């Protein structure tokens, strides 16, 4: 996708505990009427929607419309199927991250925002960032251990055939990290920063496991 094809405003899908990264593809099951409307409208136009994390509600906050994180990821619908019970099963491919400038008031059931992509045009390129393979091997080894401990199954051989940014983004998205940790990874400006953040997060997991095995 070219910079000139990027929209100035998009429909946003605030989905808790779900983050999509650029250059990754995920399946989504759409069943709420307002999001069925959103997908219908998107399919008629540019097939683009913005995936964004709602912020965790504060304890004393009963607001029905959740506040949104500032940074999300634009996704393109690359697969679409309607089920017999009128749900939509879609495939969404992450394209580029965006920053919300402001929410737009409309009479639609779903939310729309004015956005910009200025900080994230690098997502559209096939970056060849210099990352030491030894660093990467260590991260993969620690990540692999964490995935296995949590019962996650990853096809590592398939991942090795992908480009470096596709691999790091796919692992960041699929990892058993908390949603706050994944949001930090999504907001990391470059691949090398994201790699360092993964490394930092993994250190806390290893440390926790070490503490939990203290002999009483």
DSSP designation for 111:
E
In whole angstroms, give the CA distance from residue 15 to residue 115: 18
Q: Are 168 and 140 in contact (CB under 8 A)?
A: no
pLDDT at 215: 39
pLDDT above 90: residue 55: no
pLDDT at 212: 46
Instruction: Name the residue with higher pLDDT: 26 or 205.
Output: 26
Domain with CATH 2.30.130.40 in the chain: 3-124
What whole-number percentage of the chain has pLDDT above 70? 86
Averaged confidence pLDDT in the chain: 84
Beta-bridged to residue 135, according to DSSP, are none
Average pLDDT over residues 154-180: 78
pLDDT at 153: 73
SS3 call for 136: helix
pLDDT at 52: 95
In whole angstroms, give the CA distance from residue 174 to residue 151: 12
pLDDT above 70: residue 59: no
State the pLDDT confidence band at 84, using cuts at 50, 70 and 90: very high
pLDDT above 60: residue 129: no
Average pLDDT over residues 55-77: 80
Average pLDDT over residues 121-134: 71
* Nearest residue to 101 (alpha-carbon basis) of 116, 117, 119: 116
pLDDT above 90: residue 81: yes
DSSP state string for 133-153: HHHHHHHHHHHHHHHHHTT--
* Nearest residue to 165 (alpha-carbon basis) of 137, 128, 140: 128
**Mean pLDDT: which of 139-143, 175-179, 204-208 is highest?**
175-179
Radius of gyration of the chain (CA): 19
- Identify the sign of the CA torsion 199, 202, 208, 210: negative
* Nearest residue to 24 (alpha-carbon basis) of 172, 149, 205, 189: 172
In whole angstroms, give the CA distance from residue 129 to residue 46: 30
DSSP designation for 58:
P
pLDDT above 70: residue 126: yes
pLDDT above 70: residue 135: no
Which of the following CATH numbers is that of domain 3-124: 3.20.20.70, 3.40.50.2300, 1.10.3720.10, 2.30.130.40? 2.30.130.40
What the block records as the tokens of 188 is 């990391």
* Nearest residue to 119 (alpha-carbon basis) of 176, 75, 77, 73: 73
């Amino acid at each position: 996708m070219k910079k000139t094809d990027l929209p100035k405003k998009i429909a946003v899908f605030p989905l808790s505990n779900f983050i999509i990264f650029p250059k990754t593809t995920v399946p989504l099951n759409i069943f709420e009427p307002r999001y069925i409307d959103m997908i219908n409208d998107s399919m008629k136009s540019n097939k683009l929607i913005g995936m964004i994390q709602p912020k965790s509600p504060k304890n004393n906050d009963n607001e029905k419309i959740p506040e949104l994180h500032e940074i999300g990821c634009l996704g393109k619908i690359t697969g679409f199927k309607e089920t017999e019970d009128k749900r939509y099963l879609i495939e969404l491919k992450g394209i580029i991250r965006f920053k919300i400038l402001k929410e737009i008031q409309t009479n639609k059931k779903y939310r729309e925002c004015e956005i910009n992509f200025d900080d994230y045009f690098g997502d559209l390129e096939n970056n060849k960032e210099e990352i030491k393979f030894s660093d990467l091997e260590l991260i993969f080894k620690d990540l692999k251990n964490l995935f296995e401990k949590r019962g996650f199954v990853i096809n590592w051989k398939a991942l090795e055939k992908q480009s470096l940014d596709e691999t790091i983004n796919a692992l960041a998205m699929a990892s058993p990290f908390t949603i706050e940790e994944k949001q930090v990874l999504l907001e990391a400006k470059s691949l090398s920063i994201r790699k360092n953040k993964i490394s930092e997060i993994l250190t806390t997991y290893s440390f926790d496991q070490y503490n939990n095995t203290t002999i009483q």
